[in-house]
Chain A
Amino acid sequence: MQREGSAFSGLGVVMLKELSDHLTSIRMRVLEWLVVLIALAALYGAIQQIKDTTAEDPFLFLRLFTTSRDPLPSFVSFLSFLVPLMAIGLGFDAVNGEHNRRTLSRILSQPIYRDALLFGKFLAGLVTLAISLIALWLLVVGLGLLLIGIPPGAEEIARSFVFLLVTIVYAGVWLALALLFSVVFRSAATAALITLGLWLLVTFIWPVLSGALAQIFIPPDPRYTALGLQTPATAQLEQILARFSPSTLYAEIVVALLDPTTRALGPIYLSQLQGAVLGAPLPFGESVLIAWPQMVGMIATAIVLFVIGYVIFQRQEVRA
C-alpha cells in the first residue's frame, strides 16, 4: 500500500524541538559537567605521566587519549564508560515520556507520520551527543596543545578525528537501544533500569562470559594449556562471541586508531607479522582498514536497533 505524502514531513520540527529540550535540560547540564570534569582529571593524569616519561614518542599527542596514571583511568576508558550513560540518559524516556505526559496522541493527530517523531527524536539525541563530544574533543586538543606545547601532526589529528566519529557512532548505538526500550516499556524508570542493566551486562559481564562460553563449546587443548597458551580455536570463538558486544567493537576500534602499532585485532597470525618490523607503526589508512569491519558492525547495530524500535512503535496503540 502506497503511503500518502512524505514520511519525513515534520521531521525537522520534531528534531529542533527535541534538540532545544535536550540542550536546556538540567539532565544534560549535569551530564556535560560530569564529562568535562572527568575529562579534565584524566587529561591531567595523562599529561603528568607523559611529562615523567621522557622517551621519544612520535605519537605523543595520541598518548593524551590513552595514557593513564594511577589511580585514574585514561581519557578513552572514561569516555567508553560515560558515552553510553549519556546516550541512555538522553533516550530512555523519549517515547514513553510522550505517552505518560499524554502528548503522544495529540502530536500524532497532526499531519505527520510516526516515522518523523521517532527519527526526529533519534537525530536530536545524536546531535546533542555529537555537540558534547566535539566540544570535548576540542577541549582535549586545545589543552594538549597548551600543556605539552607540541602541535599534533596531521596523522594524529586524522586518527583522533576518526576516533571522535567512531565515538559518536558508539553513542548512537546506545541511543538507539535506549529509544527501543522507551518504546517497549511504558514506564520510564523500567526502561532506564533495563537499558542500564543491559549496558552493564554487555560491557562488563559479557567479555568474561564469552571466555567461559568459548571454553564450554571448545574445551582448551591440554597441549596448549601445558605451555601456558590459549588454544587458538577457543580463543577465536571467544573473540567472535565477545564481538557481539558493541563495547568490544568500540574498544577494538579505539586500539586500532589510537595505537598505530596495532597490526591486527585479536589473535595475531604469523602471516601478518611477516616482513613487519615489530612495533613499527602502521599508516593511518591501514589502521582504519583493520578496524573497518568493527566500524561497519557498530553502524549496523545502531541501525538494526533503531529499526526494531521503529517497527514496534508503528504497531503500538497510541492511547494512554
Chain B
Amino acid sequence: MIADAVIEAHGLTKTYGSAVAVDHISFSVGRGEIFGLLGPNGAGKTTTILMMLGLTEISEGDVRVLGFNPAREPLSVKRRVGYLPDTVGFYDNLTAADNLRYTARLIGFRAMEREKRIAAALDRVGLAEFADKRVDTFSRGMRQRLGLAEIVMKGAQIAILDEPTSGLDPHATAELLGIIRGFKTEGVSVLLSSHLLERVQSVCDRVALFHAGRIALMGSVPDLGRQVLGGGYVVDIEADGVGLPERLALIPGVSGVEKTGIGKLRLHADRDVRPEAAAEVVAMQGRLKYLGVQEPSLEAIYTRYFEAKPEQGAQERTRHAA
C-alpha cells in the first residue's frame, strides 16, 4: 500500500440483487498520482467511482477518500473531490459561466471568489472566450473541458474522471489529456476510468485493469509489461552501417536483433539499451536516423493476460471487441 494515499479501498463490493458489479476490490491512489481504472464496458469502473463519491450505497467493504468515509461523510468528500461523469451534461439554456456559477453557489463560494475562480478555471481549460456562450452550441470536447473547468473552479484535491475521452476525436483527446497532465503538476490526484486502454495509458502513472468486477492486474504500465509480456524492451533503430546488426548483438543485455526493413533494426533486450546502441552507431560512423524504445502496450498486456486465463477472459474480450 502507498504511504501518502488519498484514496484507499479495501474489499469494496457492490451487488445489485444477485449480480455482483464490483467484487471485493482493493486499491489505493497516492497523492499527485494519475491512476487509471481500465477495463471493458460493464467491468465495474463507474460503480466503483459512484461508491467513492457516496452516490451509490456500498454493499460491502470500505473506502476512504482523503480519510473520509463517503457513506457517512458525503459532504466532506464531495467538497474536496471533483467529478466528471461519463457523458457530462450542462444546462443548455445557460452560458458556460452561468453553469459554473450555479455549481459555485452550490459549493458555497462567495460572489467575489466565485467570479475569480470561474474566470481562472475557464481560462485554464481554454474556454475563456466562450464564457458567455450558451452551452447548447458547445461540441462534445468543449463540454468535457467545461466539466474539467468545474473541477478546477472547485479547487478539488482529487479529480475523478469517468471515461473522459470517450467520444472525442484525437485532437480533442490530446487536449484533454494535456489538461489532465496539468492537474498532476498542480498536485491534484487524478483517478480516471476508460475502456480505451491505449488512449490513456500514456498519462497514467499506475493502472488497475478491471475484469468482471475485479482488479485483474495493477501497477505501472512498464511493470505490467514486464510481468505479463515476459519482460524485455523493444528498441527500434534506423541507421546505416555495414555489420551493424552483429555489433549491436554484442551489447550486453541484447537477446536478439531483427531486420524490419532496409536499414531498420529491432533489438530485443532486457533493459533500455538505447545509449549503447547509439554509441555503436556513432562508433561505426554510421548515420542514426531513428532510435526509439517501444512502450509495452496495455492492449497487448490485457489480451495476453486473458489469453493465459481463457476461462475468465474469453467472454469479456468479445464484449470489449464489440
By a beta-carbon cutoff of 8 Å, the part of chain A in contact with chain B is: 1, 4-5, 9-10, 13-14, 17, 21, 101-103, 105-113, 317-320
Contacts and interface: CB of A to CB of B under 8 A. Distances in A.
B271 interface: no
Contacts of A10: 105-106, 108
A238 B87 CA distance: 53
Q: Taking chain B's interface residues, is the majority helix, strand, or loop, or is none over half, making it mixed?
A: mixed
B72 A102 contact: no
Contacts of B53: 109
Interface of B: 46, 50, 53, 55-56, 72-76, 78-79, 81-93, 102-103, 105-108, 147, 150
Nearest to B106: A110
B106 A13 contact: yes
Contacts of B55: 105, 108-109, 318
A102 B87 contact: yes
A5 B75 contact: yes
Contacts of B72: 1, 4
A105 B83 contact: yes
9 contacts: A4-B72, A13-B102, A102-B88, A103-B90, A105-B85, A110-B103, A111-B107, A317-B56, A319-B46
B78 A111 contact: yes
A161 B76 CA distance: 46
B89 A101 contact: yes
A288 B79 CA distance: 49
Contacts of B81: 109
A-B residue pairs, 5 tightest by C-beta: A102-B89, A109-B83, A111-B79, A110-B106, A13-B105
Q: Which of B46, B103, B106 has the most CB of A within 10 A?
A: B106
B78 A110 contact: yes
A213 B150 CA distance: 58
A10 B108 CA distance: 8
Contacts of B82: 109
Given A102-B88, A103-B91, A318-B56, A4 B76 contact: yes
Nearest to B105: A13
A161 to B, nearest CB: 35
Contacts of A317: 56
Given A17-B102, A109-B53, A111-B79, 5 more contacts: A10-B106, A17-B105, A109-B85, A113-B75, A319-B85
A260 B82 CA distance: 60
A19 B250 CA distance: 77
Nearest to A10: B106
A108 B81 CA distance: 12
Nearest to B78: A111
Contacts of A319: 46, 50, 56, 85-86
Contacts of A14: 106
Contacts of B89: 101-103, 106
Contact of A106 (B75, B107, B147): B147
A108 to B, nearest CB: 6
Given A17-B102, A112-B106, A101 B87 contact: no
A282 B296 CA distance: 90
Contacts of B92: 101
A113 B74 CA distance: 9
A111 B75 CA distance: 5
Contacts of B106: 10, 13-14, 107, 110-112
A29 B78 CA distance: 37
Contacts of A110: 78, 103, 106-107
Given A14-B106, A105-B83, A111-B106, A4 B75 contact: yes
Contact of B50 (A21, A113, A318): A318
A317 to B, nearest CB: 6
Q: Which of B83, B89, B91, B92 has the most CB of A within 10 A?
A: B89
A109 B78 CA distance: 6
Nearest to B71: A1
Contacts of A320: 85-87
Contacts of B91: 101, 103
Contacts of A21: 93
Q: Which of A17, A21, A110 has the most CB of B within 10 A?
A: A110
Contacts of B74: 4, 111, 113
A109 B34 CA distance: 20
B136 to A, nearest CB: 11
A105 B89 CA distance: 9
B82 to A, nearest CB: 8
